[in-house]
Amino acid sequence: MAAVSRRLPDFPWDTLAAAKARAAAHEGGLVDLSIGTPVDPVPQVAREALAAAGDAHGYPTVAGPEAVRAQIADWVTRASGAVAGTITPEHVLMTIGSKELIGNLPAQLGLGPGDLVVYPELAYPTYEVGARYAGCEVLAADSMLAVGPRRPALLYLNSPANPSGRILGVDHVRKVVDWARERGAMVVSDECYLDFAWEAPAVSILHPDVCGGDPTGLLAVYSASKRSNLAGYRGAFLAGDRAVVAELLAVRKHLGFMVPAPVQQALAATLADEAHVAEQRERYAARRARLRDALEAAGFRIDHSEGSLYLWATRDEPCRVTVDWLAERGILAAPGEFYGPAGARHVRVAFTATDERIDAAAARLARDAS
């Protein structure tokens, strides 16, 4: 059996142990901005739905109840701007978090050696990991010219993007979809940050201006972790090509990828309520503004960052040098190299910490700005 170290890259966050220990030694304590994990309360609507469905003595189904899938389809239609009726319960599938889906997707689609998977040059590491796990060839490329004459089996988009916060315009996304369709390639659009577009509108791959109202060959991935603070629930879903959804459903039935029944109900409840999302957006907007001002005053440049829950920051030096500089001030950030060689001189700074911790980071940065 091949060792994991030969099949997959090292888990990047394991390399942050020394910097984390240094930051934690700060007299004011650690401000961990390295991971975008929610810290705010789970919405009451989710807790009530979870409790009401707590007598879940039987096995859930992989597909989930029709009513839950209908709620997901309705939300996708509203959020993506999809043509009414093009996304139905048969076009959606719940997943045990979005990372699980992306990590398993190439294998569950039957891809393997000889199949090419393309993902952005700055990318969430699981795109590459999932492709390598299936034995696929991988290519990090932002330009279709870099792909050359090869025909990808699968191409990932991510907008608003992790780590850079970049938002792709409608013309860009449409060109990618057209290019992929000409070559018979599937496009999977990671839209987990669709609710957090700060400086430009974010467009879904399912919007008619992108796909012409036809989801064939397209999948969009969504998560309740960010919008509803449900990271601990592991509730996510995809929507798109009905035939592909049916194929994934059949495979996942064999493998037992079932979202727990109470989580299915909590997910549906949060999708029916936009008030808590608006409140969460306000929290993040305030934290983003506070942290961005502090970083810029301390000499950082913020690139992209039009959306998502991160600031893509640089001091025009190797990213590990910046990580150490921040750690001396009790702040932990993610090195940009985690997301590919193109990130070697940036750090990703999450603004998902509490107001108190964001204020602490800003105060420490202000000492260097004064």
**Measured between alpha carbons, how far is 226 from 245 in angstroms, rounded to an integer?**
23
Answer whether residue 4 shows pLDDT above 90. Answer: no
Question: 2: pLDDT confidence band, cut at 50, 70 and 90?
Answer: low
Structure tokens at 270: 């949060």
**Measured between alpha carbons, how far is 335 from 118 in angstroms, rounded to an integer?**
22
Q: What is the mean pLDDT of residues 328-339?
A: 97
Q: What is the mean pLDDT of residues 30-37?
A: 96
Question: At 2, which amino acid appears?
Answer: A
Provide the b/e sequence for 113-124 (b: ≥16 CB within 10 Å).
Answer: eebbbbbbbbbb
In this structure, how many other beta carbons lie within 10 angstroms of the beta carbon of residue 2? Answer: 7
Domain chopping of the chain, boundaries? 4-41+276-369, 59-273
- Mean pLDDT score of the chain, rounded to an integer? 95
In angstroms, the Cα distances linking 87 to 115, 206, 248, 359 are: 28, 9, 16, 42
The answer to whether 198 and 307 are in contact (CB under 8 A) is yes
Determine the Cα angle at 312 with ends 33 and 142, to 5°. Answer: 130
> Cβ contacts of residue 238 below 8 Å, gap of 6+?
92, 93, 95, 101, 219, 220, 221, 222, 245, 248
**Measured between alpha carbons, how far is 7 from 18 in angstroms, rounded to an integer?**
26
Residue 12 DSSP label: G
Answer whether residue 369 shows pLDDT above 70. Answer: no
Give pLDDT tens digits for 140-182.
999 888 888 999 999 999 999 999 999 999 999 999 999 999 9
**Measured between alpha carbons, how far is 57 from 298 in angstroms, rounded to an integer?**
55
Torsion angle of C-alpha atoms 169, 174, 175, 176, degrees rounded to 10: 90
Structure tokens at 59: 């096995």
Torsion angle of C-alpha atoms 100, 304, 168, 307, degrees rounded to 10: 60
Question: 15: pLDDT confidence band, cut at 50, 70 and 90?
Answer: confident
Give pLDDT tens digits for 43-89.
999 999 999 999 999 999 999 999 999 999 999 999 999 999 999 99
> What's residue 203's pLDDT?
98
Q: What is the mean pLDDT of residues 85-114?
A: 97
Domain covering 59-273: architecture: 3-Layer(aba) Sandwich (3.40)
> How many residues can be counted in the chain?
370
Answer whether residue 314 shows pLDDT above 70. Answer: yes
Strand 154-158 and strand 331-332: the pairing is unpaired
Element (H, E) at 303: strand 301-303
> What's residue 13's pLDDT?
77
3.90.1150.10, 2.60.40.290, 1.10.3720.10, 3.40.50.10470: CATH of 4-41+276-369? 3.90.1150.10
Strand 331-332 and strand 218-223: the pairing is unpaired
State what percent of residues in the chain have pLDDT above 70.
98
Helix (H, G, I), strand (E, B) or coil at 83: coil
Cis peptide before 215 (omega within 30 of 0): no
Q: Which residue(s) pair with 334 in the sheet? A: 348
Q: Whose CA is closest to 127, among 151, 90, 155?
A: 155
Strand 92-95 and strand 137-140: the pairing is unpaired
Residue 307 DSSP label: B
The answer to whether 244 and 216 are in contact (CB under 8 A) is no
> Cβ contacts of residue 196 below 8 Å, gap of 6+?
160, 226, 227, 281, 284, 307, 308, 309
Question: 3: pLDDT confidence band, cut at 50, 70 and 90?
Answer: low
CA 345 to chain centre: 22
Question: 294 — phi, psi (to 5°)?
Answer: -65, -40
Structure tokens at 352: 């998902």
**Measured between alpha carbons, how far is 185 from 122 in angstroms, rounded to an integer?**
21
